[in-house]
Amino acid sequence: MTNVTPFPANGPKPAQTGFDRQELMRIMDLYGRMVTAGHWRDYAIDMGKDAAIFSAFRRSAERPEYRIEKRPELRNRQGMWALIGEAGAVLKRGAELGPVLAPVERKLMRLIEE
């Protein structure tokens, strides 16, 4: 019982990457509006060592229509946020979450107008 483990202040990288409260609120707000429009029906969140991924599905048995990825290691290069389409192509990448979600927001506007 004399073994003391120091609390890591600015030490090693965290064991898991996740979304903070504001990011998750923004993503879930978009998800809720897409569900209301009748387009999305399911979602999944995967938090791993290198990335946190939010996947939105039209039906739960399919591939995700969109994946929103947060990769903090790419913060100083391409931007830590990425919007990835159903085929696996990167549709938008950036340092801020808002502009990365813009293509989905525009699609939501078209769905509501119909």
Cα first-last separation, the chain = 67
pLDDT at 9: 59
Report yes or no on 74 lying in a domain. yes
Report yes or no on 2 lying in a domain. no
Alpha-carbon Rg for the chain in angstroms = 17
pLDDT bracket for residue 87 (50, 70, 90): confident
Distance CA 97, CA 111 (A): 22
Report yes or no on 13 lying in a domain. no
- The domain tally of the chain equals 1
Report yes or no on 28 lying in a domain. yes
Angle value at C-alpha 33, between 28 and 37, nearest 5 degrees: 145
Report yes or no on 71 lying in a domain. yes
Report yes or no on 26 lying in a domain. yes
Backbone angles phi, psi at 25, to 5 degrees: -60, -45
Chain center to CA of 108: 17
Domain of 63 in residue numbering reads as: 21-113
pLDDT at 17: 83
Evaluate if residue 4 carries a pLDDT over 80: no
Report yes or no on 92 lying in a domain. yes
pLDDT bracket for residue 105 (50, 70, 90): confident
- DSSP-derived letter for residue 57 is E
Report yes or no on 46 lying in a domain. yes
pLDDT at 24: 92
| pLDDT tens column, 14-62 | 678 888 899 999 999 999 988 888 888 899 999 988 889 999 998 877 7
